[in-house]
Structure 1
Amino acid sequence: MPKISVILCVYNGAATIAKTIKSVLNQTFTDFEFLIINDGSKDGTLEVIDRVHDSRIQVFSYPNRGLATSRNRGLANANGDYISFIDADDLWSADKLEAQINVLEEHPQAAVAYSWVDRIDEGDRVICQGGHHTASGNVLAHLLLADITDSGSNALIRKSAFEEVGNYEESMNSGQDWDMAIRLAARYEFAVVPRSQVFYRASSSSISANVLRLEAGCRKTIDRAFKIAPKSLKHLKQYSLANLYKYLMFQSLKHPIRRRRDGLLPFRFLWLAIRHDPNFFRRKKLVGSILFKSIIRSFFPLETSQTILQSRLTCKLSYPEELLMYMHGNPATII
């Protein structure tokens, strides 16, 4: 039996999946099976996969049912002692699996290992670093505030832990990876590999780009989590919601608006962020920049708004990760 089951879930990933497959097959740790779960792709994804020849690859094709169902289909077919997921537009460093399995074997009480995540562009260049969190051991409080794993392509998880906490929640269209991380943290310790090993590529079609869908999924995750959270941690909910709306606010500013009403979303998210974290309003320069950018995007033609914004030094926040300095990440600092 293989030591690790790597599970790649894909829907219409023909443009990027070849690089993702290569980053998995180039791992220095080689005792793994590679399960590719094709979720009803219609864009030539299977043709790209067929051009790769490696005995560790197994392809399973199903009707389209979404990411959570694909994750569960992968788990049902997995034979490894450890599980690691990767999405079809993400990349791993060559030593990712080796470093994570080593840290889990050094910490047998931990069930999850995670590394640092950085954002990459279409040319695979790092354009923004992720949270680079270092929390380990009991990380439940940290995860209630935000998803410190930063990506569903990150963690290496003992398969026995899934048998204890259950499958991914298939009723959720987004936020399912964060939900799973919280459920795991409620029962098990986490271990961290403090270096960048996961590279996340967000496109305009990715789940994280659809802010309303993301809001609904993450609100459901937060509500589910705090229903079962210990009483001593329930006060963190307002800060978790504040973090969510800060993230959504920046995410909504990042992509071009398709409809005029989309330009109003940053106003709504800013108001909700301040509602849950009134101190955020004290960041007057930042709030002013957000309001300025939102107004320009909402009321000027696309080309005009881009020209104006590019000339303004006050609107340089381009990636949601850049708001980390404004988010509550350390539960020890919250009374």
Structure 2
Amino acid sequence: MNKIQFSVVIPLYNKIDSVTKTLESISAQRYAAAEIIVVDDGSSDGSAEKVRELNMPNLRIVEQTNQGVSAARNLGVSLASFPYIAFLDADDQWSPFFLAEMHNLILRFPEQSFFASHYQKVVKQDIYIDPKLAIKNVSPTGCILENYFAVASNGDLPFMVSSCVITSYLFDQLGGFPIGESMGEDQELFCRVALQSQIVFSPLVLLLYHTDAENRACDRHIPQRILPFAARLLEKTLTPSIDTELKRDILRYCGAHVCHLVRLNIRAGDFIVAKRLLKMDVCKLKPMHKLVFYLWTELCICHSLINGLFKWIRRSFNINSKS
């Protein structure tokens, strides 16, 4: 086999505070990246200039008007010179051994086209959280992930877009990332891979996934309905040819997605939206989640009403006292 070479694709949009650490994590790789393609998606905070100042070898920066993360990644892949594409968001960092492990997985599973590793969440500076994975007894040298939908519906996602490698051939076959979808575009790709190919998974923690970074899409806008990737999956379950067990796992996966949206909307104080989402049929497949979120929503509504009542009483008392 010829030497395995990786093209790293980084979409960049207003990440001036984090992109340097991201690129430094690539420079620190024990197995060097063959090329780094940064696609600046119309940044206005000086991010592109920051990248240029680093003067990194094998890095080129391409600029486009703001079209979204999917268009930026797709453009990066189209410009890649090598067949193995590694994605890294501009606010995440790899372990120094990420590409080395991807190299080892490719050697162990040369017939496969999608490779991924475990990760840690960084919620605040120096505060790390291990995702809850529904995978047990995984060989430290990697394995074929038997059922992505079953794993992802019973815990956190087993990997992130920044901890995966895909061949350019499979990427083109799948049609790339969906244009115009700023959220869930990564899960759309994962689902397409799971339905068409196999996923090679390493349990090694090789990515720091930041939930504390600036300018995150999920912080700017909380969805009030299921995302397009889940809607498309629900449509797919109506296909008569789909396997019964796979259909069940996909529905549970969509149910987990809806419950996640419920949680986000409860925390944002959008209780009406949360209750509407809980009425979706797929939530019945996550009964404990549905019960907990229903009780949480009702408790929050009661708390809000009581607070409103006390405020009204205080205002009335103050008015009467003055008169």
Alignment partner of 1:212: what SS? Answer: coil
Compared CA separation, residues 95 and 102, structure 1 to 2 (3 A):
same
Q: Give the letter aligned to residue 199 of structure 1.
A: L
1:288 is matched with which residue? 295
Q: What stretches of structure 1 move > 4 A for 4+ residues in a row? A: 132-135, 143-147, 281-284, 297-301
Equivalent in 209, 219, 222 of residue 233 of structure 2 = 222
Give the CA deviation at 1:107: 1.0
How do residues 83-232 of structure 1 correspond to structure 2 at under 5 angstroms? 83-131=85-133, 133=135, 136-139=144-147, 141-142=149-150, 145=153, 148-203=157-212, 205-209=215-219, 210-212=221-223, 215-223=226-234, 225-226=236-237, 230-232=242-244
2:315 is matched with which residue? none
Compared CA separation, residues 227 and 287, structure 1 to 2 (3 A):
closer
Deviates more, 1:197-206 or 1:273-282: 273-282
Give the CA deviation at 1:300: 4.7
Q: Give the letter aligned to residue 6 of structure 2.
A: I
Equivalent in 49, 61, 65 of residue 67 of structure 2 = 65
Q: Is the 8 A contact 1:112 1:155 kept in 2?
A: yes
Cα distance in structure 2, aligned partners of 1:219 and 1:267: 19
- Count of aligned pairs: 296
Compared CA separation, residues 235 and 13, structure 1 to 2 (3 A):
same
Q: Give the letter aligned to residue 123 of structure 1.
A: Q
Q: Give the letter aligned to residue 253 of structure 2.
A: S
* TM-score, L = length of structure 1: 0.76
Give the CA deviation at 1:62: 0.5
Cα distance in structure 2, aligned partners of 1:278 and 1:145: 9
Equivalent in 252, 272, 281 of residue 280 of structure 2 = 272
* TM-score, L = length of structure 2: 0.79
| Deviations 1:192-250, CA, capped at 9 Å, x for gaps | 11021122212584233333177333433424654667233223343223111111122
Cα distance in structure 1, aligned partners of 2:171 and 2:251: 29
Q: Is the 8 A contact 1:241 1:273 kept in 2?
A: no
Compared CA separation, residues 115 and 30, structure 1 to 2 (3 A):
same
Compared CA separation, residues 239 and 185, structure 1 to 2 (3 A):
closer
Give the CA deviation at 1:79: 1.0
Cα distance in structure 2, aligned partners of 1:227 and 1:31: 42
Give the CA deviation at 1:66: 0.5
Q: Give the letter aligned to residue 19 of structure 1.
A: K
Deviates more, 1:171-180 or 1:198-207: 198-207
| Deviations 1:235-285, CA, capped at 9 Å, x for gaps | 33432231111111223344x55xxxx34333333443774337327856x
Compared CA separation, residues 11 and 281, structure 1 to 2 (3 A):
closer
1:78 is matched with which residue? 80
Cα distance in structure 1, aligned partners of 2:57 and 2:183: 32
Cα distance in structure 2, aligned partners of 1:214 and 1:153: 25
Compared CA separation, residues 268 and 253, structure 1 to 2 (3 A):
same
Q: Is the 8 A contact 1:263 1:298 kept in 2?
A: no
How do residues 24-43 of structure 1 correspond to structure 2 at under 5 angstroms? 24-43=26-45
Which one has a bigger Cα radius of gyration? Answer: 2
Q: Give the letter aligned to residue 240 of structure 1.
A: Y
Q: Give the letter aligned to residue 269 of structure 1.
A: L
Q: Give the letter aligned to residue 299 of structure 2.
A: F
Give the CA deviation at 1:72: 0.6
In structure 1, the gaps of 5 or more residues are 305-335
Give the CA deviation at 1:113: 1.2
Alignment partner of 1:117: what SS? Answer: strand
Q: Is the 8 A contact 2:39 2:63 kept in 1?
A: yes
| Deviations 1:42-97, CA, capped at 9 Å, x for gaps | 01111211221211211001000001111110111111221111111111111111
Q: Name the Cα RMSD after superposition.
A: 3.2
1:51 is matched with which residue? 53
